[in-house]
Each structure stands twice: as structure tokens, then as C-alpha cells.
Amino acid sequence: MVCWPRRRQIHDLLGEDRDAVIIEEHRHDAIDSREAAQVRERQIMKVLLIRHAPAVRTGTGGIRDHDRPLTPRGRRRFREAARGLARIAGRPDVLLTSPLTRARDTAEIAAAAFRRVTPRIEPALGQDDVDLLVTVLKKYRPDATVALVGHEPTLSGLLAHLLGMHQGDDHFAFKKGGAALVHLPDGPSVPGQLRWFVKPRILRLVGSH
């Protein structure tokens, strides 16, 4: 069983920095205990969205965009963030990554923190096509936890789509190394619930405790 951090615990870590983490409460805080029990009994797909960590700049040393690796600092800091990510999200059933080097590097670091999960390349994560990613999610069990490592603006567009919101909302733009978790009680074709949206520095903070 995954032990989710309580809102009070998260705010104890954040202090007064309310902008550091966004927790969507309009659905799961509103339901009563009986409805909550019914939700727990249902099969719920969980989608963990992760943006790749900082990579070398475009054009560095003639490296193609597709082949840009993480910077040494980006790699080191995401190792710290990945420990926090594993702590609050638990191990996914599936870890899919864009074929681009910076995303594959990030997925390998995340896999080491999650343990006992191997990244799989998903070509759709290298394209800016939200509908294609929704089709990919439909391939998995209705109770699966699927982690996706990809890029902006595709991830924020997918997050908006999964929440039934307007795509292109900067409110959900992912920082490099940032992550979000969405619950989809009715599958990826129906708007779900945002459980948390966390910046990388907060993941590093959680990983250090």
C-alpha cells in the first residue's frame, strides 16, 4: 500500500510557500466517507507525469536535439528529486519514456529510485500529440499506475486533457524534473482528479526527509 503524505505534512515541509505545490481538492475533499469507500473499492488508473530533468543546451558541441543528455548537475539533482518522487508516488506498474536521450536518462534515474521497474520507450512521448498519448493509456489495465517521462508542452497539454481543462494553461506548465499525479476512476477518456502537482525542488526536499 502506498502511504500518501497528508496535506498538513506537505505544508509543514513547505512553510508558507503555497506556490510550491498544488493539490487539487475540489473532488476528493468534497465526498463523504461512504463515497470515499466506494471510490477505494473501484479500479482506479493512476497516471504519473514526469518532465525530463535539465539537459545540455541545444547546439552544445554539435549534439543533435534528440541526443542531448542531462547535465551533470541536472542528473545529480534529479537523483535527489527521484527519491522524493518514489516516496510520495510509490512504484508504478509501468514506466514509459520518450525516446529522446534526456527523457531516457531521466527515466533510468527514476527507475533506480522506484526499484523493480524497467523503463520502456514509448515513441508517442516524443511527439506533441495528446490524443495519441490518451490512446496509449487505454492499453493498460483500469487499475494500473502508469508513469510517463516526457517533454513540454506535451505533458501540460496531456494533464489539462486528463482534467477536462483547456490545453495551454500555463498554470500547469511542468518545471524540468517536476511531476504530477492524476487519478482516473473512469479511465483516460473521462476527466479525472489531480492529486498533486509538485515542483522539483519540493521533490528534493521530500527526498531528503
Percent of the chain residues past pLDDT 70, beyond the cut: 78
Q: Is the pLDDT of residue 108 over 60?
A: yes
Cis before 5 (ω within 30): no
Of the candidates 28, 5, 13, the residue with the CA atom closest to the CA atom of residue 194:
28
Residue 205, pLDDT score = 96
Q: Are 67 and 191 in contact (CB under 8 A)?
A: no
Percent of the chain residues past pLDDT 90, beyond the cut: 71
CATH no. of 7-207? 3.40.50.1240
Over residues 137-145, mean pLDDT: 97
What is the distance of C-alpha 155 from the center of its chain?
9
Residue bearing the bigger pLDDT, 93 or 12: 93
- The predicted-structure confidence for 145-171, as pLDDT tens digits, reads as follows 999 999 999 999 999 999 999 776 667
Banded pLDDT at 9 (limits 50, 70, 90): very low
Q: Is the pLDDT of residue 12 over 80?
A: no
Contacts of 8 (CB under 8 A, 6+ apart): none
Residue 61, pLDDT score = 81
Q: Are 206 and 32 in contact (CB under 8 A)?
A: no
Residue ranges covered by each domain of the chain: 7-207
193-198 β-sheet, strand order:
21-22, 193-198, 179-184, 45-51, 145-150, 94-97, 119-121
Q: Are 41 and 51 in contact (CB under 8 A)?
A: no
Residue bearing the bigger pLDDT, 180 or 8: 180
